[in-house]
């Protein structure tokens, strides 16, 4: 029984951490229509900066500032935000797919940096020996698991409530207006590029927060955690749940992460040994099919957005095409 | 120094071929196709299959042209692979992108292209195995062209350069000498006007995929000859291709060509300054610098 | 007056760029064989939308468009040539990145028969195109651009040409030249439907005219009658007076 609860705690913690990142992506893609091709870069930056600020002293390497955990978490989130600002400043004014390319690029760059800049990041071996908050006081790992889950759930609740307020605020309406019709928003005297940049940075900060929670949970971070598949998984979660809807984003995280874990377990338990080495390959195909299939069959996800400004949001009609169809 | 120059030009010629197709697709279909680099993998593995089959049916064809590690079988396989890859690109378009084109925005297609890339890459891994492979097990030796400064060149590398340039010349002739090429450029400039001048958009879209897929396949084979085949070669090349297209200016064929060489040279010179581990990040730096100082690229129009 | 048998006939046409958002409503219009008909009206009246509807470029909600015996509703814009129809858009009506010759070659591609001879006949008709054959069309002057655009339309020997503001942005002399070119075309039996901002100039060259405002027919009549009608000026100044449609 304890085993099951303990596993459930573990599963819920990871799901909730990922859900926070999905919420950040939802602000960018779902609400503002900004395409982030490198979620893992901001997630990873949040994780690394947090560990460096609050983590152990490492011989001959940067870090060991002994900052209090909440402050380090904020630092990590800000680090992710600054990174987003640098990329966003160059791209939010340009054709929209430039940001997709630039963010994809920064994910590669962050992983390469984490792998090679040993002085800053510990290189391929990563950073170990992180002391989790209040770990010294809660010695029972089972109780600590529950305690940490509570922290994560508190953070997700906070992020969720803040985002719900945000999307209902005038700023949220502005985001959706820009997503629907940038020209119209500009003609009303708004600066779409600036607003898009704000939403992009804010989303990245939330992803950084998720990264910090993730690194805290494992008390360890390494370049392995920055694999590009994480970006794809987080997208799949959002698109399954329903872009634009925060509750959908959380529900999608449960569904997709559940499927991922279950498929991994099924493959490792039932697949013959020679198929085992392809387990990851099969799972990646699954994520790819999930993304493409959802976009084709149910682009609004399981829980579609309720606050849509117009009914045309995902179905712009080009005159020539429409005539052919009619 | 001179070695880095040669290596950069060599890699650049391969990137150019891939980036030309990418920039055409981005210009005519208006979306950043993250699965374009997977067309290089499809092309490379498809040629490997054809090469093996041809060598089995007609063993004399598998004789290597000394001093190259290439055979008539591989040359034929490369051409067949270009056609096959072009066809595959059209099929993927029909299955995924065309459906989204009619009902969703450009970013949804970008999104889908990531999914498509993930599927293609891993299906290749499933079919051909996760280990790297080579077209020929013969070890080809480099010739020392010059001792000081040191310059080592393999015969294969000269052949790669020549073939890449031939493919570029062929494309140039197609675009500047045939009405089919005019039609493609016309759609790139003004789709509506092209339509009222009797050009069916969907057939130009298919032509774009054939050219893009064909060039990608050739690039993939050349990359495979120079390095080795790996199911993740698309993942390793995608950022370089985008960097080349952006540096050149989206939609510009000559821009993508120059862009390819610039990214190739930047990567090969960068490892003179930085540890080799940083090499994968160089294309990103090229993109970032371009976007900050010349966002429309060298040959791009202002938008 | 020329032969008045209807060649192009539009009735009850309602169309727009998005479904259920019509720009023009319940439009009736006809063009006879070899007739030059001009559509005038204030900005935003739906003039361009009307001829785009004929060219298959917007969504048709209701009504009919017939050319001779054939219905044009729902045609694909790349098949205009099959209906002996040509359309010259307002701006960006030539491919600026192609040479003059390439533009013509491309336009001739839609004709099955003898594309080569057709290019030659256009070059004979417009010697300026011969002179400029090898230069990029983007380097042409405004008047030369219109000549090229009209040549690209004529190359398929259409029975009806739709032109969206062919004199826009031209000097008065160039505008006159383009209009007299249009007259020459019509004298050869080709029907022309024009949209014009420059009403005085266009009416001087036309047989009949329609006045459009708020996406609806307001007035119709012989060109010289409208030219001398005091009400026209009033409508141009934004008056809402309904004409006898």
Q: What is the pLDDT of residues A9-44, one digit of tens each?
A: 999 999 999 999 999 999 999 988 889 999 999 999
- Distance from the A180 Cα atom to the nearest Cα atom in chain C, whole angstroms: 15
E strand or H helix at C11, and its extent? strand C6-16
Listed in sequence order, the DSSP H helices in chain A are 2-25, 39-54, 69-91, 96-116, 118-121, 141-168, 170-180, 182-187, 192-218, 229-241, 246-270, 273-276, 279-297, 319-325
CA distance B45 to B34: 19
| pLDDT at residue A307 in the model | 55
CA distance A313 to chain C (A): 13
Facing B199 at nearest CB: one of C78, C98, C102: C78
CA distance C157 to chain A (A): 24
Q: Give A317→chain C minimum CA distance, Å.
A: 7
Regions of chain A with pLDDT less than 70: 307-326
Which residues of B touch chain C, with CB atoms under 8 Å apart? 179, 182-183, 185-186, 189-190, 192-201
* Cis before A245? omega within 30: no
Whole-angstrom CA distances from C146 to A253, B52, C102, C140, C170 are 58, 58, 16, 9, 9
Helix, strand, or coil here: C95? coil
Cβ(C55)–Cβ(C87) below 8 Å: yes
pLDDT of residue A128: 87
Tell me which residue in B193, B195, B198 faces C92 most closely, judged by beta carbons: B193
Contact C19 A320 (CB under 8 A): no
Burial class (CB in 10 A: 0-12, 13-18, 19+), A255: middle
Terminus-to-terminus CA distance in chain A, angstroms? 61
Read off the pLDDT band of C221 (50, 70, 90): confident
With an 8 Å Cβ cutoff, are C74 and A319 in contact?
A: no
Across the interface, of A317, A320, A326, the residue whose CB is closest to C77 is A320
* Residue C238: pLDDT over 60: no
pLDDT at C106 over 50: yes
Q: Do A291 and B121 touch (CB under 8 A)?
A: no
Residue of A nearest to B113 (CA): A292
Residue C5: per-residue pLDDT: 58
Query: How far, in Å, CA of B55 to CA of B33, rounded?
Result: 35
Q: Do C59 and A320 touch (CB under 8 A)?
A: no
Helix (H, G, I), strand (E, B), or coil: what is residue C139? helix
Helices B155-177 and B201-226: crossing angle, nearest 10°? 170
The verdict on B302 touching A (C-beta cutoff 8 Å) is: no
DSSP labels, A150-212: HHHHHHHHHHHHHHHHHHHSHHHHHHHHHHH-HHHHHHTT--HHHHHHHHHHHHHHHHHHHHH
Q: How far is A312 from chain C (nearest CA, A)?
A: 10
Give the architecture (CATH level 2) of C6-236.
3-Layer(aba) Sandwich (3.40)
Which SS3 state, helix, strand or coil, does residue C64 take? strand
Task: Give CA–CA dist C214/C21, Å, rounded.
Answer: 13
Residue C137: predicted pLDDT? 94
Q: What residues of chain A lie within 8 A of the CB of C57, using their CB?
A: 319-320, 323
pLDDT on residue C234:
66
The β-bridge relationship of strands C85-88 and C160-164 is parallel
Phi-psi region of B140 (alpha: psi -120 to 50; beta: other; left: phi over 0): beta
What's the confidence (pLDDT) of residue A316? 38
Integer-rounded Cα radius of gyration of chain C: 18
Q: Which of B118, B192, B281 sits opposite A288 (nearest CB)?
A: B118
Report which DSSP code applies to A131. Answer: P
Structure tokens at A243: 């872009």
- Euclidean distance between the first and the last CA atom of chain C, given in angstroms as a whole number: 21
pLDDT, position B227: 92
What number of C-beta contacts closer than 8 Å exist between A and C?
30
Coil/strand/helix, residue C191 = strand
A317–C19 C-beta distance less than 8 A: yes
CB contact under 8 A, B126 and A104: no
Chain A residues contacting C via beta carbons under 8 Å? 312, 317, 319-320, 322-324, 326
Q: Cβ B287–A101 below 8 Å, yes or no?
A: yes
In angstroms, the Cα distances linking B282 to A188, B126, B150, B234, B275 are: 40, 30, 24, 16, 12
- Cβ contact A22:A249 at 8 Å: yes
Decide if pLDDT at C4 tops 70. Answer: no
- Interhelix angle for B282-293 vs B253-273, to 10°? 120
- φ/ψ bin of C140: left (φ > 0), alpha (ψ from -120 to 50), beta (otherwise): beta
User: Measured between CB atoms, which of B111, B281, B284 is closest to A295?
Assistant: B111
Mean pLDDT (whole number) for C22-39 = 93
Which regions in chain B score pLDDT beneath 70? 301-303
How far from chain centre, in Å, is Cα C138? 22
Contact yes or no for C60 and A322 at CB 8 A: no
- Positive or negative: CA dihedral B125, B128, B134, B137: positive
Chain A nearest CA to B140, separation (Å) = 31
Q: Over pLDDT 90: what percentage of chain C?
A: 52
A87-100 confidence digits (pLDDT tens): 998 888 777 788 89
The per-residue pLDDT for C236 is 57
Calculate how close chain B gets to A86, using CA atoms only, in Å.
9
Q: What is the pLDDT of residue C235?
A: 60
Q: What is the ipTM of this complex?
A: 0.91
Please state whether beta strands B143-146 and C24-32 pair in parallel, antiparallel, or not at all (unpaired): unpaired
Alpha carbons B127 and B122: distance in angstroms, whole number: 9
Question: Nearest CB to C57: which of A312, A320, A326?
Answer: A320
> Are A312 and C17 within 8 A, CB to CB?
no
Residue of B nearest to A322 (CA): B102
| Contact: C59, A326; criterion CB under 8 Å | yes
pLDDT band at C237 (very low <50, low <70, confident <90, very high): very low
DSSP A10: H
Q: Which residues of B touch C55 (CB under 8 A)?
A: 196
Domain boundaries, chain C: 6-236
Q: What is residue C41's predicted lDDT score, i.e. its pLDDT? A: 85
- Between helices B201-226 and B36-57, what is the axis angle to 10°? 70
User: Around Cβ B293, how many Cβ atoms within 10 Å?
Assistant: 8
Cross-strand bridge partners of residue C195: C39, C164
Q: Which residues contact C207 (CB under 8 A, 6 or more apart)?
A: C1, C2, C32, C35, C36, C37, C222, C223
């Amino acid at each position: 029984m304890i085993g099951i609860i303990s596993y459930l705690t573990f599963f819920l913690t990871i799901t909730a951490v990922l859900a926070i990142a999905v919420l950040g992506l939802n602000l960018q893609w779902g609400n503002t229509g900004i395409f982030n091709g490198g979620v893992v870069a901001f997630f990873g930056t949040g994780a690394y900066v947090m560990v460096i600020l609050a983590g152990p002293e490492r011989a001959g390497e940067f870090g060991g500032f002994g900052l209090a955990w909440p402050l380090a978490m904020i630092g990590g989130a800000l680090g992710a935000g600054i990174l987003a600002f640098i990329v966003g400043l160059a791209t939010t004014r340009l054709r929209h797919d430039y940001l997709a390319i630039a963010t994809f690029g920064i994910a590669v760059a962050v992983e390469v940096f984490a792998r090679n800049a040993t002085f800053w990041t510990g290189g391929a071996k990563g950073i170990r020996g992180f002391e989790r908050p209040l770990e010294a006081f809660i010695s029972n790992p089972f109780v600590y698991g529950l305690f940490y889950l509570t922290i994560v759930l508190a953070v997700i609740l906070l992020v969720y409530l803040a985002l719900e307020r945000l999307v209902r605020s005038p700023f949220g309406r502005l985001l959706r207006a820009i997503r629907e019709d940038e020209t119209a928003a500009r003609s009303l005297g708004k600066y779409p590029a600036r607003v898009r940049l704000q939403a992009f940075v804010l989303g990245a900060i939330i992803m950084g927060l998720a990264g910090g929670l993730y690194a805290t949970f494992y008390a360890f971070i390494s370049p392995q955690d920055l694999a590009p598949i994480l970006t794809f998984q987080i997208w799949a979660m959002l698109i399954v749940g329903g872009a634009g809807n925060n509750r959908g984003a959380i529900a999608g995280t449960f569904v997709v992460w559940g499927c991922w874990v279950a498929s991994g377990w099924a493959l490792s338990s039932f697949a013959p040994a020679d198929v085992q080495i392809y387990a990851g390959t099969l799972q990646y195909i699954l994520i790819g099919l999930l993304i493409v299939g959802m976009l084709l069959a149910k682009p609004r996800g399981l829980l579609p957005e309720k606050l849509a400004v117009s009914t045309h949001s995902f179905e712009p009609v080009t005159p020539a095409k429409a005539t052919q169809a009619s | 120094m001179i070695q880095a120059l040669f290596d950069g030009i060599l890699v650049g010629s391969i990137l150019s071929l891939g980036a030309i197709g990418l920039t055409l697709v981005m210009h005519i279909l208006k979306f950043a196709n993250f699965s374009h680099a997977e067309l290089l993998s499809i092309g490379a593995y498809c040629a490997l299959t054809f090469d093996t089959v041809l060598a089995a049916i007609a063993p004399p064809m598998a004789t290597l042209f000394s001093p190259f590690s290439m055979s008539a079988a591989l040359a034929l396989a490369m051409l067949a692979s270009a056609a096959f890859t072009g066809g595959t690109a059209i099929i993927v378009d029909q299955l995924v992108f065309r459906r989204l084109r009619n009902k969703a925005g450009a970013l949804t297609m970008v999104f889908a292209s990531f999914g498509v890339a993930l599927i293609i890459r891993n299906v290749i891994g499933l079919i051909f195995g996760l280990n790297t492979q080579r077209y020929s097990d013969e070890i080809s030796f480099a010739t020392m062209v010059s001792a000081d400064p040191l310059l080592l060149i393999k015969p294969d590398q000269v052949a790669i350069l020549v073939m890449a340039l031939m493919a570029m010349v062929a494309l140039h002739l197609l675009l500047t000498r045939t009405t089919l090429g005019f039609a493609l450029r016309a759609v790139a400039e003004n789709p509506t006007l092209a339509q009222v001048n009797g050009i069916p958009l969907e057939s130009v879209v298919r032509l774009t995929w054939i050219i893009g897929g064909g060039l990608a396949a050739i690039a993939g084979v050349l990359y495979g000859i120079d390095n080795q085949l790996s199911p993740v070669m698309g993942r390793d090349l995608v950022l370089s291709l985008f960097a080349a297209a952006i540096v050149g200016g989206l939609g510009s064929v000559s821009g993508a060509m120059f862009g390819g060489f610039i990214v190739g040279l930047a990567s090969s010179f960068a490892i003179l300054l930085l540890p080799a581990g940083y090499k994968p990040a160089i294309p990103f730096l090229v993109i970032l610098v371009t976007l900050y100082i010349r966002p429309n690229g060298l040959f791009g129009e202002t938008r | 007056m020329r032969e008045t048998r209807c060649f192009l006939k539009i009735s009850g046409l309602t169309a727009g760029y998005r479904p259920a958002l019509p720009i023009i409503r319940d439009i009736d219009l006809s063009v006879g064989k070899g007739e030059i008909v001009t559509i005038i009206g204030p900005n935003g009246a739906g003039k361009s939308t009307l001829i785009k509807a004929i060219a298959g470029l917007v969504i048709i909600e209701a009504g009919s468009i017939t050319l001779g015996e054939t219905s044009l509703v729902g045609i694909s814009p790349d098949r205009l040539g099959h209906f002996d129809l040509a359309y010259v858009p307002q701006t960006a009506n030539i491919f600026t990145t192609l040479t003059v010759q390439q533009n013509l070659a491309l336009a001739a591609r839609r004709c099955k028969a003898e594309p080569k001879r057709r290019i030659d006949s256009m070059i004979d008709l417009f010697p300026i195109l011969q002179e400029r054959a090898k230069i990029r069309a983007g380097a042409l002057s405004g008047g030369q651009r219109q000549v090229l655009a009209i040549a690209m339309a004529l190359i398929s020997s259409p029975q009806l040409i739709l032109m969206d503001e062919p004199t826009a942005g031209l000097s008065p002399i160039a505008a006159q030249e383009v209009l007299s070119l249009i007259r020459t075309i019509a004298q050869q039996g080709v029907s022309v439907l024009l949209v014009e901002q420059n009403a005085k100039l266009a009416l001087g060259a036309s047989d009949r005219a329609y006045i459009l405002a708020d996406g609806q027919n307001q007035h119709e009549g012989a060109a010289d009658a409208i030219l001398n009608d005091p009400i026209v000026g009033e409508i141009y100044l934004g008056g809402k007076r309904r004409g006898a449609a």
